[in-house]
Structure 1
């Protein structure tokens, strides 16, 4: 029996961009679930027929349609007025997040030396355009698409109108999954070593559905459909928004494609985990066994320790500097924007350095903003209080920040669940334990744009699991997505390097539990031979997709029980697994 059991028609909303010529029209998505014909032309014709019946004219239908989703599932994106949309039981809502993606193909991590021909089963293409030509793809990056139809000029302004990466996020994710081995990578002189992805011999297909101004839902769904058609083995999606899920991924899983999602960066608040569908692997973020301590000496001869990325000794050789301003360190989490804004203000003020207090001092990404200007250090609130009281009790307080050093190994307490990592249970699927697993996601140093940079987030943890998923698919090509997920989750560990229970860096710190890390921290070596794996008939997922919990998310009645809103995401990066030269290192 065909396992691709048909979905009932689900009409879902999404509506984003007004037409410049007709401000009463907006972009809507009509998601119809499983396609009823294998011939794409027949599916497209059915979309035209539906639109013609609503708009009254085939010419009007052809002018209004933006995308036809004809490969992995059926549906279309169309420009409609409010009254026309009501005929589809749709409602409008703005759903954009400010992220931009894709890939910087010149990065050394994507070199294709030693690769054989592109697999014959691959149906993808290399879509060329602005600063992205045919040579940007190779035997490593075997496909690249981008999606701008239906997007406003304002959304596209300042972006590369091509698959080229704009802000480094997509390149970082891609190189974490499948970056080739690059010697001598470091941040300045810190973290010197070899950079490589978790599945370094895998090939990459790139799908750019987002722009600096946001992620049109119509483009996102088009990217998913193309990826299914192209023949990817693993979808790695470092995206998400609380309370929104992506329905097209179920069609991918029903066709044997594993789907891995980031779990969100809205922790440590409960019920913030996103991308919680039972058929996908949802990933939390944890720390790694590496730190960058820096010595902070104050005028009373006390020596304190913080974390920094200060590698330029010349910036620290001027000796002790006056402490010119100290704020009370406070007792709660600063807003996420506090550190970058403080760095910007401090640089503009001409300060000689910055010491910033936050609850956890191991998320160093934003300190890159200090590079070349001044030494910056992060401290916890205990250290901050000591500096503050020194300031209060001293007439001419002074301080010196020394260059950082790299420490790797058992001397660093890890892993710990990152304070930003979203926590379960899911609001949409409360009966499903999420996240599924945790993986490294704090201060990960890999390719970012044309260079190498630290980044933190569940976006960085997700590709670690995607890489292991690809490796397992290579070793066990007969395993279903559910079996691969089972192997990863059931072989995870729940203790740190000292044999103690993993901690969660919440407020306050606590012992981590399954709502923090699912099955625990990923263990690639054990996942290869788990002893037992659990399978799920893909048709069983339809019961969850049609649950009352998800059907309440649309504001209008639908003739089917599978209505759900569509999530926006920053990019869709997919990987075609290599069937040989497998390595298990993450």
Structure 2
């Protein structure tokens, strides 16, 4: 099979097919609509002094005005939203949906979208890295990556209580809600030993469903709900509802965010140590909105609506839309639900997406969301290639339980040399694309295959090679090197192009080349780490170019956390592992949700914006070599890759200063984004004065003035604008009542950055102070614009009182 020439085109085609499939849902073979489709009707904030029962009645009355004769409103409703916001989801015809769009009080009507899931040592690594690196902020490039051998050490080290915020949380009453694929309650991560009674403010429930009842909840797992997922699972009777996880994703994310410390955890001996969540003292509530095939937008909104009413403190959302077909804010279930959650004081943390390393692929971009990118940790899984002749070893990475002889005795062949006679494309054969190899040439041999992101998946290649009788496979793979893929019972390892050159040289020089592949071994204290994972979606935001996204980075590569019981065991294993190693921004998101819950526990009155600020401004941009972080390709990491940097959970407990923002700020953002005043009034409801109006000069450029912990400015490097000034305000939350902060600026060539005033002097009565940042294009000696001032220029401003470093990254573009 010929390989696609563009990874972006591949993802685009997949997204088109998914969109066409969704659009075709409910149509017969002749293309005519055979049944109504689910639409979401969003009506903004709940009207004041309106009971849920009255709100539900009003929804049904409104719906009844557009339904065709013979259709009852209560028979077509799928969900009704009545706590955090107003609206409903119903099975409607296209004409009925169009009629509802024209009704007063309706913000938007949109077809129910299907979103996708963004599919330990990580917490110890965060403490080790940030403790040594947080005091230095340097935007220069770092060295190439290398490893230190440490095969015999365990995968986790005990941290002192003072360095581990999860072990010193002042209360166990913080509640993390997860919108995900469900939960496996029997996991030891959710044992409630040592937990007191459920907080009295909790209003949630433990729903009974298939193989799930109220006894599955306890004082740790305090809530579990599930929703109608027929739009993503189909109407099969076997697809009954339950909060129980049959995918594994929700169990993994919830244990990463708030799982108990479980000693002796590993994945069949790999990554051994103690698995624990970021806020082990927090309670957990699961809102099952996803099946393996996807997540229904109408269910996502129902999950947000219930989580707000139940009383969660933090919502963790490891899923999102396609970066190629993302909806606008008023038609995005995550943006809608998150807006109303934040307006009610609930922190919302979302994954950035797994469509990297292409630019402008970040999703969940609304400024009221904390958006998380993924990075590696200092652990690797080494599976080496041993070559015949002198038994030299070539370093490889994969998760396999190879049963090959440790001596190199298996014939070694390249995919190109094993090309089928019926195939003319040698390049596809060299990549071992399915159908391109002669099975008689590879039987009993180890096959060397090249791989790129636009190829058929690695697992598909491995499956075909295994079924054709190959002894093993060596994949030459540069882009995906940082993620150890699990091949389990088939001996596969992955090597870089540089390492593969030694293998090619050996094959060319030996008359009968032979090799073997060793089983995976855990290597810790890998350097440099963290690096930004290749799959992590990148900025700039295509929706909000004057908001810098993603916001923060966290571990998301080969994360060990709880899992559902597997359907089969790897070779030689007699007992199922309760844990799994999984990668994705899905895994990074709950790391930050756990950190946010800990900050909330220490500061119960803080707004979501203050918590976000504490997390962002205390992040580190250094790796475990005390050098600036890079991407996994070795290039210098920019704010478009990792936002403010790698999360520093302990540092976030004492940020010194915070940037606050509230619902009014986000409503002004919506005005500047382009929504008219009547729509904004509907979204906000009674929180706005009756005469509210968007400013006459509302503009997307004014979005840069949102009191955000990072700064993004567009239009400066073009010909029209030479200077842009933005305003920020910070609040002193440190122990010292009257500190003085001075500013340090790190600016790239071609850009002049001035902060006014350069010193902030707080007093007992003055806790909040404003400052301005002016960005100007540099001029060279001839008075012309500096040629270096092109593209995206990034740097940072850092306020310090001698103890705290309050760092804000910035990006300036044309």
With the length of structure 1 as denominator, give the TM-score of the two structures: 0.85
The DSSP-based 3-state class of the residue aligned with 1:406 is strand
1:307 to 393, 397, 416: 397
| More displaced stretch, 436-445 vs 245-254 | 245-254
Give the Å deviation of 1:485.
Answer: 0.4
Unaligned runs of 5+ in 2: 1-21, 102-107, 118-179, 417-429, 432-448, 566-577, 684-814
Structure 1 residues 19 and 180: CA distance shift in structure 2, 3 A: farther
| More displaced stretch, 538-547 vs 244-253 | 538-547
Is 1:462 the counterpart of 2:589? The answer is yes
Is 1:28 the counterpart of 2:39? The answer is yes
Number of the residue aligned with 2:159: none
1:215 to 295, 298, 303: 295
Is 1:515 the counterpart of 2:640? The answer is yes
Number of the residue aligned with 2:563: 448
The DSSP-based 3-state class of the residue aligned with 2:594 is helix
The DSSP-based 3-state class of the residue aligned with 2:500 is helix
**1:406-555, aligned counterparts within 5 Å?**
406-409=522-525, 411-450=526-565, 451-506=578-633, 509-548=634-673
Structure 1 residues 82 and 473: CA distance shift in structure 2, 3 A: same
The DSSP-based 3-state class of the residue aligned with 2:291 is coil
Q: Following the alignment from structure 2 to structure 1, what is the Cα–Cα distance between the partners of residues 264 and 240?
A: 30
| Contact preservation (8 Å) 2:361, 2:537 | yes
**1:352-363, aligned counterparts within 5 Å?**
352-360=471-479, 362-363=481-482
Number of the residue aligned with 1:251: 340
Give the Å deviation of 1:354.
Answer: 1.8
Number of the residue aligned with 1:341: 460
Number of the residue aligned with 2:498: 382
The DSSP-based 3-state class of the residue aligned with 2:260 is coil
Q: Following the alignment from structure 2 to structure 1, what is the Cα–Cα distance between the partners of residues 455 and 51?
A: 48
Q: Following the alignment from structure 2 to structure 1, what is the Cα–Cα distance between the partners of residues 547 and 682?
A: 19
Unaligned runs of 5+ in 1: 1-13, 552-557, 565-586
1:63 to 55, 72, 75: 75
Is 1:143 the counterpart of 2:223? The answer is yes
Number of the residue aligned with 2:171: none
| Contact preservation (8 Å) 2:232, 2:294 | no
Q: Following the alignment from structure 2 to structure 1, what is the Cα–Cα distance between the partners of residues 494 and 298?
A: 41
Structure 1 residues 231 and 55: CA distance shift in structure 2, 3 A: same
Structure 1 residues 354 and 550: CA distance shift in structure 2, 3 A: farther
Number of the residue aligned with 2:26: 18
| Contact preservation (8 Å) 2:259, 2:276 | yes
Q: Following the alignment from structure 1 to structure 2, what is the Cα–Cα distance between the partners of residues 297 and 153?
A: 46
Number of the residue aligned with 1:405: 521
Is 1:326 the counterpart of 2:415? The answer is yes
| Contact preservation (8 Å) 1:16, 1:93 | no
Q: Following the alignment from structure 1 to structure 2, what is the Cα–Cα distance between the partners of residues 298 and 214?
A: 44
Is 1:88 the counterpart of 2:100? The answer is yes
Q: Following the alignment from structure 2 to structure 1, what is the Cα–Cα distance between the partners of residues 84 and 456?
A: 39
Give the Å deviation of 1:397.
Answer: 1.3
Give the Å deviation of 1:228.
Answer: 0.7
Give the Å deviation of 1:295.
Answer: 3.0
Give the Å deviation of 1:169.
Answer: 0.8
| More displaced stretch, 472-481 vs 315-324 | 315-324
| More displaced stretch, 439-448 vs 91-100 | 91-100
| Contact preservation (8 Å) 2:451, 2:476 | no
The DSSP-based 3-state class of the residue aligned with 2:383 is strand
| More displaced stretch, 242-251 vs 98-107 | 98-107
Give the Å deviation of 1:390.
Answer: 2.8
| More displaced stretch, 256-265 vs 149-158 | 149-158
1:285 to 374, 377, 381: 374
Structure 1 residues 347 and 149: CA distance shift in structure 2, 3 A: closer
The DSSP-based 3-state class of the residue aligned with 2:340 is helix
Q: Following the alignment from structure 2 to structure 1, what is the Cα–Cα distance between the partners of residues 112 and 249?
A: 23
| More displaced stretch, 254-263 vs 50-59 | 50-59
Q: Following the alignment from structure 1 to structure 2, what is the Cα–Cα distance between the partners of residues 356 and 286?
A: 23
The DSSP-based 3-state class of the residue aligned with 1:322 is strand
Q: Following the alignment from structure 1 to structure 2, what is the Cα–Cα distance between the partners of residues 306 and 41?
A: 61
| Contact preservation (8 Å) 1:273, 1:424 | yes
**1:116-265, aligned counterparts within 5 Å?**
116-148=196-228, 151=231, 154=234, 159=239, 161-241=241-321, 242=323, 243-244=326-327, 245=332, 246=334, 247-265=336-354
Structure 1 residues 105 and 543: CA distance shift in structure 2, 3 A: same
| Contact preservation (8 Å) 1:66, 1:150 | no
Structure 1 residues 239 and 152: CA distance shift in structure 2, 3 A: closer
The DSSP-based 3-state class of the residue aligned with 1:121 is coil
The DSSP-based 3-state class of the residue aligned with 2:294 is coil
Give the Å deviation of 1:56.
Answer: 6.9
| Contact preservation (8 Å) 1:240, 1:275 | yes
| Contact preservation (8 Å) 1:429, 1:549 | no
Q: Following the alignment from structure 1 to structure 2, what is the Cα–Cα distance between the partners of residues 134 and 318?
A: 55
Number of the residue aligned with 1:582: none
Structure 1 residues 490 and 448: CA distance shift in structure 2, 3 A: same
With the length of structure 2 as denominator, give the TM-score of the two structures: 0.62
Give the Å deviation of 1:151.
Answer: 3.4
Q: Following the alignment from structure 2 to structure 1, what is the Cα–Cα distance between the partners of residues 662 and 541?
A: 23
Give the Å deviation of 1:320.
Answer: 2.3
Is 1:297 the counterpart of 2:386? The answer is yes
| Contact preservation (8 Å) 1:156, 1:213 | no
Is 1:275 the counterpart of 2:364? The answer is yes
Q: Following the alignment from structure 1 to structure 2, what is the Cα–Cα distance between the partners of residues 273 and 184?
A: 36
| More displaced stretch, 293-302 vs 90-99 | 90-99
Give the Å deviation of 1:514.
Answer: 0.6
Give the Å deviation of 1:446.
Answer: 1.0
| Contact preservation (8 Å) 1:237, 1:260 | yes
| Contact preservation (8 Å) 2:40, 2:110 | no
Give the Å deviation of 1:59.
Answer: 6.7
Give the Å deviation of 1:336.
Answer: 7.3
Structure number, greater radius of gyration: 2
The Cα RMSD (Å) is 2.8
Q: Following the alignment from structure 2 to structure 1, what is the Cα–Cα distance between the partners of residues 202 and 405?
A: 53
Number of the residue aligned with 1:571: none
Number of the residue aligned with 1:106: 186
| More displaced stretch, 324-333 vs 98-107 | 324-333
| Contact preservation (8 Å) 2:482, 2:632 | no
Deviations 1:87-138, CA, capped at 9 Å, x for gaps: 1237765732455711111111111111111111111111111111222211
Give the Å deviation of 1:526.
Answer: 1.1
| Contact preservation (8 Å) 1:101, 1:170 | yes
The DSSP-based 3-state class of the residue aligned with 1:511 is coil
Give the Å deviation of 1:157.
Answer: 6.7
Q: Following the alignment from structure 2 to structure 1, what is the Cα–Cα distance between the partners of residues 465 and 263?
A: 35
Number of residue-to-residue matches in the alignment: 538
